[in-house]
Amino acid sequence: MAKIVYLSLGSNVGDRAHSLREAISRLKDYGEVRAVSHFYETEPIDVTGQDWFLNCAVAMEAGATPAQLMADLLSIEQALGRVRTQAKGPRTIDIDILLFADLVLETRELTIPHPAMHRRRFALEPLAEIAPEARHPLLGKTIRQLLEELPAGQTVIKKD
């Protein structure tokens, strides 16, 4: 049975908008894309000496298991030229699973919900646009509430 999955997509190398659009197009091979947020220009966090990102959120219905979906997302990243040379460094595309229905999962390879999503404006702002009432299964708060509780900082600019 298909589950609603929320993803965060980001790019800060090359034609960022093209990379996001291409990744979204390829997601359709793995489920039904239900909603896509606007694109958001976001400043890098953690590793700050790099170009700004373009981010968005996607809601999709997926019939795969979380592990299979993650493998599918990694194959999209690889097909779009992602090379992992530096943790949190520059990348053509990054696709993270934020929420997978109301599932809570922690394995060596995958943690759902995404363990840092509630602290990342670049993930919450686009997600709140398409799923403000979705609930974080561990924190029990809606995406809108998590976004409202974030401290100031982390520049996120909605693009047309």
16 noted as active-site residue: no
Between CA 10 and CA 56 the distance in angstroms is 7
Q: Is 82 a catalytic residue?
A: yes
**Catalytic residue selected from 26, 82, 120, 121:** 82
From the candidates 72, 94, 120, 121, give the one annotated as an active-site residue: 94
Provide the pLDDT confidence category of residue 86 given band limits of 50, 70 and 90.
Answer: low
pTM over 0.85: yes
Name the 3-class secondary structure at 127: helix
User: How does pLDDT run across 56-85, given as a tens digit for each residue?
Assistant: 999 999 999 999 999 999 999 999 987 766
Q: Which helix (H) or strand (E) holds 22?
A: helix 16-27
Instruction: Pick 3-158's CATH classification: 3.30.70.560, 3.30.70.360, 3.40.50.150, 3.90.380.10.
Output: 3.30.70.560
Which tens digits make up the pLDDT trace of 100-144? 999 999 999 999 999 999 999 999 999 999 999 999 999 999 999
Give pLDDT, residue 84: 67
- What is the Cα–Cα distance from 119 to 64, expressed in whole angstroms? 27
Question: Does the active-site annotation cover 96?
Answer: yes
Q: Which of 16, 26, 91, 120 is an active site residue?
A: 91
- Catalytic one among 96, 102, 119, 144? 96
Distance between CA atoms of 35 and 4, rounded to whole angstroms?
11
Residues 5 and 33: their CA atoms lie apart, in Å, by 9
Domain residue limits, the chain: 3-158
Would residue 94 show up in a list of annotated catalytic residues for this protein? Answer: yes
pLDDT tier, 152 (very low <50, low <70, confident <90, very high otherwise) = confident
Half-sphere exposure of 25 (CA within 13 A, CB side): 8
pLDDT in tens, 33-60: 999 999 999 998 877 778 999 999 999 9
